[in-house]
Amino acid sequence: MKWALLLLPLLLFGLAFFSRRSQTTPEQEFWKWFQSNEPSLFDFEKNQERIFDRILKELHRVNPDLTFEFGPKLNGRREFVISADGIKTAFPKVESLYASAPSLPRWTFIKFRQRRAPSDVNYGGVSVKTTSVLVQLQPAGSKADVVIFIPGYTSAAYPTYAPIVFLLLDQALGEYDVEMHVGKIEIRPVSEAPAGALSLDALPKVFDDSFVKK
């Protein structure tokens, strides 16, 4: 009986602890970890490989498809981009993680990879200059099918060029619009580009006017 009385408080404490733990969402746990490690994350360049591995580990507790990007330090602040890596089924977790982000004085949190000026891509031993790439949009219901024309492309090299194409489109249109408003994506040699094909710089406006802003 005496041991039972001694164990009762410990049992009640354990139940309370696990109850509190079960009420914490994976998103809240991630941001708790982020805030605890904020100084080293802000200066991640000092130990980049270890920091990046740890961030991915923590993000994957929320969803295994999530990834991230850091922006440069500007005026004492830094961007942290939460990305689904183009995987549409992970979009809700990007949204929920972003919605639960704390307000931190040195950070700007962004959901999904945003549009930016296209930059040259080097991947798998292949270099692609953005000024050499052309694009054609084809209506496909409420979406746009995209044909992208790249110098040096052959069908045998598709496994190398496919990631390059997604990087270029994410830069030009942003991760969200590529997944939500783009249908099929086809790659062809630049020699097959029609006369009215668009440059990557011209793509966003035509895409928005024709397929997004209706």
CA distance 92 to 76: 30
d(CA 70, CA 66): 14
Query: Three-class SS of residue 214?
Result: coil
**pLDDT reading at 4 higher than 60:** no
Q: Are 132 and 126 in contact (CB under 8 A)?
A: no
CB neighbours of 188 closer than 8 A, spacing ≥ 6? 147, 148, 149, 150, 153
Q: What are the beta bridge partners of residue 107?
A: 78
Quote the tokens at residue 187: 């790659």
140 or 96, higher pLDDT: 96
Banded pLDDT at 213 (limits 50, 70, 90) = low
- Residue 131 scores a pLDDT above 90: yes
Contact 31, 101 (CB under 8 A): yes
The reported pTM is: 0.79
The pLDDT value recorded for residue 1 is 46
Question: Taking all residues of the chain, what is their mean pLDDT, rounded to a whole number?
Answer: 90
* 11-30: average pLDDT: 68
Residue 21 pLDDT greater than 60, yes or no: no
Q: For 47-71, how does the pLDDT look when each residue is reduced to its tens digit (9 = 90+)?
A: 999 999 999 999 999 999 999 999 9
Which among 184, 183, 179, 197 is positioned nearest to 135, based on CA atoms?
197
- Least Cα distance to 199 among 108, 137, 121 occurs for 137
Q: Where are the domains of the chain?
A: 24-111, 121-212
pLDDT 10s digits, 101-127: 999 999 999 999 999 988 999 998 999
Which residue type is seen at 138?
Q
Has residue 5 got a pLDDT over 90? no
Task: Give the pLDDT confidence of 141-173 residue by residue, as tens digits.
Answer: 889 999 999 999 999 999 999 999 999 999 999
Token pair listed for 115 = 């549009």
Length, in residues, of the chain = 214
Residue range 127-149: mean pLDDT, rounded: 94
Residue 14 pLDDT? 55
Residue 2 in this model has a pLDDT that exceeds 70:
no
